[in-house]
Chains A and B, each alone.
Chain A
Amino acid sequence: MSAPLTSLDRPNSYIGRSVPRPNAKRLLAGRGRYVSDLRLPRMLHAAFLRSPHPHAKIVSIDCEQARALEGVHFVATGEDLAKICTPWTGTLDHFKGMTSEPQLPLPLDRVAWAGQAVVAVVAESRAIAEDALELIVVDYKELPSVIDLDTARQSGAPLVNPGSASNVCFRSQLDSGGVDDAFATATHIVEGEFSFGRHTAVTLEPRAIVADYDHSAGMLTVHHATQTPYQFQDLYSRHYGIPEARVRVIATDIGGSFGMKLHVYHEDMAVVGLSILLGRPVKYVADRTESFVSDIHARDHRVRARMALNADGEILAMDVQDLTAIGAFSTYPRTSVVEGNQVIRLIGAPYGFKSYRAALEVIFQHKVQTSQYRAVGHPIACAVTERLVDMAAARLGLDPFAIRDKNVIADDAYPRTSPTGYRFEALSHQACLQRLHAMMDYDALRTEQAELRTRGIYRGIGIATFVEITNPSPAFYGVGGARISSQDGATVSLTPSGEVRCLISVTEQGQGTEAIISQIVADQLGVVQDQVKVITGDTEVTPHGGATWACRGAGIGGETALQAARALKRNILEIAALILQEQPSALDIIDGQVVDASTATPRLPIAEIARIAYFRSDTLPPGTQAQLTVSHHFAPQGYPFAFTNGIQGCSLEVDVETGFIKLLKHFVVEDCGRIINPMLVDEQLRGGVVQGLGAALFEECRYSDTGQLINGSLADYLVPMAMEMPDIMIAHVETPTKDTALGAKGCGEAGTAAASACVLNAVNDALAPFGASINSIPITPTTVLKALKRF
């Protein structure tokens, strides 16, 4: 199924073309401008003393020696900042009954995880600030802590929030009905308990912020490496009581984000307050050891799930319980329950069964918060579903492709509402399955696998279908009371020289936002792409909007740009029509020339229109006011989300003596609707897949029984590196959404969504001759050897 032809499919269209990113050359020459690079006059540096205990009462803090150190300007404790910053609470109204304690930049009397910032030092250099940290004496009285999920759930367990009755943050249930009947009548029931380790984003540039409060102007400027500058403009304004118009947040080049840099962090809020208290710019860049104990973590779920099937292998029902531990607080302003919420709503999503029941329980513990990180909930939902499907296939003697082919929602059966309540406009599972089967050369892989097994070489082949949630409407956060916009804004101008400038609220973290926006604007206006300058990431310059998260940049930001460009084109053609004494409808713009729409004969460069409008308006008919700047906002309507889908496959080899796994090749077939830039989409998928592969084999935040993160460095926390990663083949099916003219959906999380599920299935496939089974991620050599009972 490929997209129907529209005006977007013209031969010279920029839509659908692999154009390199104009802004990448700067980065290749070392001319990136990251917040960590920034130096302002009179700028000071902050460092934080962190709690060594997972749970303790702060009895006293002695900062005298630190304050006395030469080069130290300020030492702040919780009370200093509490005087100027109002607390925040990480709950939202649409998550009924959820709780979380109010939070402040620095705690007043109690720490709730090892690594929590307790005291801030501001000094002339980071080194001096760290010297001062060594001179601070905090007297802690240790309190009982809860580190693991099971302990936290026991009655009588130490309470993370002393005022609560239990450690439950949130519970939720889904029940479509009919589940018990389905299981009672099922021919086959497969079930398992699946665990997913904590991991974290590990952006290569750690979190970085420079806050600069100017008392004379009453103006706060924050250079903040974030995906969501408008959200932070709003938060800094409200929590520090500064009028919104006097808060400017600038997000320049950002060294990776992946969802991690859109949450409120205690240190970041503290730095803003420190700048207000000092009236000077204050910079804070988390070092890597701080990142590991203060960036949000993700996952950490344990899912019990079962699946009922009839004798033909049709799925009848699923019954799911998801437990997740989220740390000491729910994050702000998006909460820490969204991942669990998405797990229970995305499980089973590719398949056409009717009966579904799920229970979610979100638990507090004394660890750093978990929250939204790339592909929120998807890898868990996908792995649970796809592992059960493979277990069922094995039970029934069906091939993994055959059982999926039998159960996926048919490509002609849309629109469709899932048993969890999601409304799917149009998905393409069947087409994707066929494409993957051919692309993998599946039958040949199976033949090779069988032959190698006879020689003691154990290869595994795994596949996993997935559904990804993109382009969220206000149903995601807005309805819960969060001031997180689901709309975007763009301002497009024809400049006096006849070039085009587009200021847009979606932001760039390297995924190519600026490139695709310039492609869309160039395409819709009829100018060459390098005549379009796109500007992002500055609340004082660009219109308010949701920015870049949940795969909304292309789908929502792109549609905003498209509509803004179309509006500007209408305005340009109106002026052109006056000058040329034609009807606007008889004219078009191609390659920067106004042309006859029917013959494409050039009539007038748009630069000439700009010249006349800006400098010789006297030559236009009286009453003409040329509008060569257009602002336009777009909020998604229609479906609450644009769902995408796809399927991944992988081939790997397990060394059954050592437990080591070698990834051989990975495959992706993905349908993100209309593709604006195939190269950038492929690179999003590859990067996403590798994050999923990291989760599958390497990444885990490991804690001691006493609540200490024991692998919090880049030497100990294993991220995926080049040598271990496979080449990744990619193919596309295109099913544009009809909710927008552009038809684009998101693609940034699809890679991560299913990669770890593929690996899980492939490892189990490789181990099948031994009757060994693994249902936990990451899959380490230890896990494999334990499953094989080798030691």
Chain B
Amino acid sequence: MKARAFSYFRARTIEEAFDAHVRCADEARYIAGGQSLVPALSLRLQAPRLLIDITHIAELRGVRREGEFLRIGALTRHCEMLSEPLIAEFAPLLRAAAPFVAHPAIRNRGTLGGSIALADPAAEFPAMALALDAEIEIAGRSGKRRVKADDFFIDLFETALEPGELIVAVHVPLFKSGQRIAFDELARRRGDYAQVGCGMLATYTDKRVDDIRIAFFSVGSVPTRAKQAESVLAGAVLDAAHVAAAQAALANDLMPPDSDDVPPAMRLHLARVLLGRLLGRLGEGA
């Protein structure tokens, strides 16, 4: 399990990273935390000619308020999701999901930008970006652009990122009073990829849900919003009938893959159970 040989370049600016990438045509890879990339290299599942280390690019760092958004630099590590007060205050769903991301030592290295860019359909943060209606700030040679999470995840490990582009930051709309979140996942062991996971952000007026965004992970080839379930719940009080209707709607929202150990019907069942439990917690003011 030793990687193929490659060259290494440590970029200090985004421009340096782009230049290096261009020089190596398509055979370069950016590395940040590397917690998924390094095993892929060791297993020789990937074999770039050049590894461009972007962890020393200052522009990709930092968590701060920018207007109605919390700007979370792409290099923000998973462990900072647990320790950074601004995240606890303005993006509590990321704080809630972070303890479920792998293990402590992985969280010390893994980055938010890396997780979003990889777009593992079983990972927590890509789905939470969906639930939060986050915007992904992307830099390319032609400049910067912001893509809504809804438009970012395209297919299995395929995103709106063009070759050579990298994620600068994730912008999360600030958490407001009247909003509630809930997160949980069903994993066989602590830190494992979940059999099903879900996070949600709801905006309440009194006991009525004005608006809700529900995102699942480990249910298909991409992190997936449960849009029909959302529409069942929008404007409703979360009573048993609405919860049941939302659970039923998941049949249309999710298309679980055929997997060797979790049959699609079981995954759908687990998603419904999880949705029911999380809506219950939401109702309790979770």
Contacts and interface: CB of A to CB of B under 8 A. Distances in A.
Contact between chain A and chain B defined by CB under 8 Å: yes
Interface of A: 125-127, 130-131, 134, 287-289, 657-658, 660, 698, 702, 704, 710, 718, 721, 723-724, 780-782, 785, 790-791
Nearest to A45: B2
Given A289-B1, A718-B188, A781-B188, A791 B269 contact: yes
Ordered nearest first, which 7 A-B pairs have the shortest CB separation? Answer: A723-B190, A127-B2, A287-B1, A791-B269, A791-B265, A791-B266, A657-B273
A785 B196 CA distance: 15
A785 B270 CA distance: 10
B23 to A, nearest CB: 24
A302 to B, nearest CB: 19
Interface in B236-286: 260-263, 265-266, 268-270, 273-274
Contacts of B270: 658, 781
Contacts of B273: 657-658
B192 interface: yes
Question: Which of B2, B190, B195: most chain A Cβ within 10 A?
Answer: B2
Nearest to A786: B266
Contacts of B261: 702, 780, 782
Contacts of B191: 721, 723
A131 B189 contact: no
A721 B189 contact: yes
Contacts of A782: 261-263, 266
26 contacts: A126-B2, A131-B4, A131-B5, A134-B44, A289-B43, A658-B186, A658-B273, A698-B189, A702-B260, A718-B188, A718-B192, A721-B190, A721-B191, A723-B191, A724-B190, A780-B188, A781-B186, A781-B188, A782-B262, A782-B263, A782-B266, A790-B266, A790-B269, A791-B265, A791-B266, A791-B268
Contacts of A658: 186, 270, 273-274
Nearest to B103: A721
B2 A130 contact: yes
A365 to B, nearest CB: 18
A702 B262 CA distance: 13
A785 B273 CA distance: 12
Contacts of A134: 44
A785 B3 CA distance: 41
Nearest to B267: A791
A781 B190 contact: no
A288 B5 CA distance: 21
Nearest to A698: B188
Contacts of A724: 189-190
A725 to B, nearest CB: 10
A380 to B, nearest CB: 22
Contacts of B266: 781-782, 785, 790-791
Interface in B4-27: 4-5
Interface string B27-66: 0000000000000000110000000000000000000000
Given A131-B5, A287-B1, A791-B268, A704 B190 contact: no
A704 B260 CA distance: 8
Contacts of A125: 2
A204 to B, nearest CB: 15
A130 B195 CA distance: 34
Contacts of B3: 127
Nearest to B4: A131
A181 B266 CA distance: 46
B260 A723 contact: no
Contacts of A791: 263, 265-266, 268-269
A70 to B, nearest CB: 12
A660 B263 CA distance: 15
Contacts of B4: 131
A77 to B, nearest CB: 22
Contacts of B5: 127, 131
A774 to B, nearest CB: 15
A613 B191 CA distance: 63
Contacts of A287: 1
Nearest to A785: B266
Given A791-B265, A791-B266, A288 B188 contact: no
Nearest to B269: A791
Given A288-B1, A785-B266, 5 more contacts: A131-B5, A710-B260, A721-B191, A723-B189, A782-B266
Interface string B164-198: 00000000000000000000001011111001000
A125 B263 CA distance: 43
A724 B273 CA distance: 21
Contacts of B260: 702, 704, 710
A785 B268 CA distance: 12
A113 to B, nearest CB: 19
Contacts of A127: 2-3, 5
A289 B44 CA distance: 12
A694 B161 CA distance: 41
B187 to A, nearest CB: 9
A126 B1 CA distance: 9
B282 to A, nearest CB: 18
Nearest to A290: B1
A785 B269 contact: yes
A791 B261 CA distance: 14
A723 B192 CA distance: 11
A772 B3 CA distance: 49
Contacts of B195: 781
Contacts of A723: 189-191
A660 B260 CA distance: 18
B5 to A, nearest CB: 7
A704 B189 CA distance: 23
B255 to A, nearest CB: 15
B259 to A, nearest CB: 10
Nearest to B187: A660
Contacts of A718: 188-189, 192
B138 to A, nearest CB: 29
A658 B272 CA distance: 10
Contacts of A710: 260
A126 B4 CA distance: 11
Nearest to B277: A657
Nearest to B192: A718
A791 B196 CA distance: 15
A97 to B, nearest CB: 37
A198 to B, nearest CB: 14
A351 B195 CA distance: 42
Most buried by A among B4, B188, B262, B274: B188
A660 B186 contact: yes
Contacts of A702: 260-261
Contacts of A721: 189-191
Nearest to A710: B260
A438 B156 CA distance: 55
Which of A127, A289, A657, A704 has the most B CB atoms < 10 Å from its CB?
Answer: A657
Contacts of B186: 658, 660, 781
Contacts of A131: 4-5
A723 B44 CA distance: 31
